C-alpha cells in the first residue's frame, strides 16, 4: 500500500464506512478499501451495496477530475455486474479503464478487483450540473 494515499472527500456516509484510499495510475484515479467484518453481509462477504458505493465514488470522481470536465456531475445510471465476492481481509480496488467528460454527460467504466481477482464490472453515466445544488 506504499503508493496509496487517503481519499479525502468528506461525507457523513463515506466517513462511516471508510477509510478509502486512492492512487493515480495511467491518468486515472483508483479507489480502494480494505474489507472489514463490518462491511460484510450475513454470509461473510463484502456487501453488494458497499461495492456499489465504491464504484459510484471511483467512476464519478474520475469523470469530475478529467481536464475537459466543465462542471459537477451527478450519477444518472450505475450498472454493476457482480462476478465473485470479496471477504474480510481483502483489499478491493476499482480500476477505472474508460473515462469521458462532456458538457452534458460523463461516462466511465471499471473493473473491481479483490486483491488480484475480478469481482465485478461497473459502468456509469453522470449528468453535468453547472450550478451548485441548493440545500
- pLDDT of 120 > 60? The answer is yes
Three-class secondary structure of residue 78 per DSSP: strand
pLDDT in tens, 48-61: 999 999 999 999 99
Instruction: For residue 22, tell me if it sits in a domain.
Output: yes
Residue in 53, 22, 20 with CA at minimum distance from that of residue 36: 20
- Domain containing 106 equals 5-129
**Mean pLDDT on 9-18:** 86
Check residue 131 and give its pLDDT.
Answer: 54
Tens of pLDDT, residues 65-111: 888 887 789 999 999 999 999 999 999 999 999 988 888 899 999 99
Note whether residue 134 is domain-resident.
Answer: no
Residue 101 near residue 68, CB atoms below 8 Å:
yes
| Residue keyed to cell 472489514 | 36
What integer pLDDT is reported at residue 37 of this predicted model?
96
Residue-averaged pLDDT of the chain: 91
Tell if the pTM clears 0.75, that is, is over it.
yes
Q: What is the pLDDT of residue 72?
A: 86
pLDDT of residue 114: 97
User: What are the cell numbers at 130?
Assistant: 453547472
Q: Is 122 part of a structural domain of the chain?
A: yes
Total of domains in the chain? 1
Are β-strands 105-114 and 117-129 bridged in parallel, bridged antiparallel, or unpaired? antiparallel
Q: How far is CA 6 from CA 10, 22, 131, in A?
A: 12, 6, 28
Q: What is the predicted pLDDT for the residue at 57? A: 94
For 35-44, what is each residue's pLDDT tens digit?
999 999 999 9
CATH number, domain of 92, equals 3.10.129.10
124: cell is: 456509469
Sign of CA pseudo-dihedral 66, 98, 87, 47: positive
**Alpha carbon distance 89, 103 (integer Å):** 40
- C-alpha cell recorded at residue 31: 479507489
Query: Is residue 15 assigned to a domain?
Result: yes
Q: Judge whether 135 lies within some domain.
A: no
Terminal Cα-to-Cα distance of the chain (whole angstroms): 37
Amino acid at each position: 500500500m506504499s503508493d496509496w494515499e487517503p481519499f479525502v472527500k468528506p461525507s457523513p456516509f463515506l466517513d462511516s464506512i471508510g477509510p478509502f484510499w486512492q492512487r493515480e495510475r495511467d491518468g486515472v484515479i483508483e479507489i480502494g478499501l480494505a474489507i472489514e467484518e463490518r462491511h460484510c453481509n450475513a454470509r461473510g462477504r463484502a456487501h453488494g451495496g458497499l461495492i456499489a458505493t465504491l464504484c459510484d465514488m471511483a467512476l464519478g470522481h474520475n469523470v469530475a477530475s478529467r481536464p475537459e470536465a466543465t462542471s459537477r456531475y451527478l450519477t444518472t445510471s450505475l450498472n454493476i455486474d457482480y462476478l465473485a465476492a470479496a471477504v474480510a481481509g481483502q483489499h478491493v480496488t476499482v480500476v477505472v479503464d474508460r473515462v469521458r467528460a462532456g458538457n452534458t454527460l460523463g461516462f466511465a467504466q471499471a473493473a473491481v478487483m479483490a486483491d488480484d481477482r475480478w469481482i465485478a464490472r461497473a459502468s456509469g453515466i453522470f449528468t453535468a450540473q453547472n450550478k451548485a445544488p441548493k440545500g
